[in-house]
Amino acid sequence: MQVKILWADDEIELLKPHILFLESKGYSVVSVNNGSSAVDESNEQEFDIIFLDENMPGISGLEALARIKKERPYVPVVMITKSEEEHIMEEAIGSNIADYLIKPVNPNQILLSIKKNLDSSKLVSQKTNSSYQQEFRELGMQLNSRLDKDEWTEVYDQLVYWEIKLDKIEDSGMKEILGMQKKEANTQFSKFISDNYLDWLNGVEESPQMIHTLFKNKINPQLDDSKPFVLVIDNLRYDQWKMLSPIFSKYYSISEEEIIYSILPTATQYARNAFFAGLMPSEIAKKFPQWWKGEEDEGSKNKYEKELLGSQLKRLGRDIKWSYNKITNLDAGKKLADNFSTLLKNDLNVIVYNFVDMLSHARTEMEVIRELADDESAYRSLTVSWFDHSPLHDIVKKCAESGRKMIITTDHGTVRVTNPVKIVGERSTNTNLRYKTGRNLSYKDKDVFQIKDPLEAYLPKSSVSSEFVFTRDADYFVYPNNYNHFVNYYGNTFQHGGVSLEEILIPYVELMPK
């Protein structure tokens, strides 16, 4: 369909060569020589883009802009002016113009502005598709080689980059290809974890940076020369962080960003307790039995994070003033934001924010959330929308204004499950869909990552014959009883506890206030 252009300029006759140039490129151009006529033409017919001279007799370009935008708010308007006065630029930009050109303009400037405003989506889509096609081959070659722990974080970083990049284009073909490539990556990553995880924990191979040593290795050294805020956003995937990072960049510069490894099970009870204690779960259960809650115990499994952090600080020889706050609802978030000034008296402030975890659970339980976060892209967008309007956003701004460093991390991620795997267990077996622990578990060995002796993985052993089994990729456990009901109920929901790129590879970010 032919693009229609309205061009208003009191010297329009002098611009005839420009108009002929555009018409030779296939554009239809309607020209007028004053602002009133521009408003009338815009009201009478629809244009794809409008060029307005700022200084015309009668009503000015800025007045015409305001009237046109009132009736046609979505049409892109390009302001053209001889003046370089700052206040005119500011007023035009504040009126939501699409572009701002200084006279004299040449035909190619006009053409570039048209393409930027009307064809950019198509051009970006074409370029993105072409770039990913090249990257697809390189990623494919990497996945067919034996990647080490650092190379896996690099591959995942690239996959997330392309996921977010392809979200912005209309063509869905490349997204499907990326989805298949990511599935293959998860299959290979699951094998990598199966082959190496126990060796890392038992010192057979050098381990990557993992969640249980994160505080000691990365945060503790910074307590000597800074008074950081440590923000632990529960269940924050790396792709969600990458979507949030532009908001943080308004207030902070990223001084360090890396991907670290969570522990198994990739569940709050295990991973977040390990972070705060600086110990693996079986070590916590042995050293602090009063603070460890097993699978069979009632009540919150993360009730003693503050106590575990205090014990770690003491072991590290840190005699400092510190605070711990856990935010689980909107009112608690607002209260912390309102009382932010009191936190500035501390040498260390740790804030646990639970919203993202609640979002994933709500998506399972509530149909309306399922519809709002129908796929990975929507799930990322919903996370950004939540943060943008949350008390946490206020806390982040106040932290930056106070000049304090901020450290952001999480305990584990989450994965969208699509493939049911049958398992049979005793009545006392835990309910998590991504891992099971207990006695007499019955399953197909090929479907799971088994840890026959939990103590090898530094996990508590509830009985002599208990074991842990973990689903991989996008699998989830379902009991044969009432199988179809649970397949339909839990299919396409976000779960955690097992082995996948999304659950295990998590963000660690250090931010310095601007």
CATH number at 335 reads: 3.40.720.10
Crossing angle (nearest 10°) for helices 149-167 and 173-201: 160
| CA separation, residue 163 to residues 168, 228, 284, 377 (Å) | 9, 32, 38, 8
**pLDDT at residue 502 tops 70:** yes
Instruction: Identify whether residues 241 and 146 lie together within a single domain.
Output: no
Burial of 363 (C-beta count, 10 Å sphere; 0-12/13-18/19+): buried
Whether residue 92 is found in the same domain as residue 157: no
Per-residue pLDDT for 399 more than 90? yes
75 and 167 part of one domain: no
For residue 59, the surrounding DSSP H or E stretch is none
Task: Give me the mean pLDDT over the 194-202 stretch.
Answer: 97
**Looking at the domain assignment, is residue 164 inside a domain?**
yes
Confidence band of 120 (pLDDT split at 50, 70, 90): low
In this predicted structure, which of 87-96, 108-117, 147-156 has the lowest mean pLDDT? 87-96
Q: Are residues 77 and 181 in the same domain?
A: no
Residue where a domain terminates, one of 40, 75, 105: 105
Judge if 79 and 141 occupy the same domain. no
Amino acid 368: pLDDT: 57
Q: Worst-scoring range by mean pLDDT, 35-39, 219-223, 260-264, 373-377?
A: 373-377
- The sign of the torsion formed by the CA atoms of 445, 449, 453, 454 equals negative
Q: Which of 238-252, 353-367, 432-446 has the lowest mean pLDDT?
A: 353-367
* Residues 272 and 393 both lie in one domain: yes
Give the pLDDT confidence score for residue 361 in this predicted structure: 56
What's 57's domain CATH number? 3.40.50.2300
How far from the centroid of its chain's Cα atoms is residue 493's Cα?
17
Q: Where are the beta strands (DSSP E) in 281-347?
A: 322-327
Domain count, the chain: 4
**Boundary of a domain, candidates 166, 201, 236:** 201
Q: Tell me, yes or no, whether 126 and 188 share the same domain.
A: yes
**411 and 438 part of one domain:** no
Same domain, yes or no: 170 and 318: no
Are residues 237 and 357 part of one domain? yes
Q: Which residues does residue 455 pair with via DSSP β-bridges, in sequence order?
A: none
Condensed to tens digits (0 to 9), the pLDDT of residues 306-334 reads 999 999 999 999 999 999 999 988 889 99
Residue 112 lies in a domain: no
Domain C-terminal end among 138, 170, 201: 201
At residue 407 the predicted structure's pLDDT band, cuts being 50, 70 and 90, is: very high
> Residues 402, 252: contact at Cβ < 8 Å?
no
Q: How do 505-513 and 406-409 pair as beta strands? A: antiparallel
The set of residues, in sequence order, having a beta carbon less than 8 Å from that of 191 and lying 6+ positions away, is: none
Residue 448, classed as helix, strand or coil, is strand
Would the pTM of this model clear 0.75, i.e. be above it? yes
**Cβ burial 423-440 (10 Å sphere, 16+ → b, else e):** bebeeebbebbbbbbbee
Asked if residue 431 has pLDDT above 80, the reply is yes
Asked if 157 and 267 sit in the same domain, the reply is: no
Arithmetic mean of pLDDT over the chain? 89
Q: Do 410 and 448 fall within a single domain?
A: no
Which of residues 500 and 333 earns the better pLDDT score?
500
Q: Which domain holds residue 49?
A: 4-105
- Whats the size of the chain, residue-wise? 514
**Confidence grade of residue 189 (pLDDT, cut at 50, 70, 90):** very high
| pLDDT of 127 above 80 | no
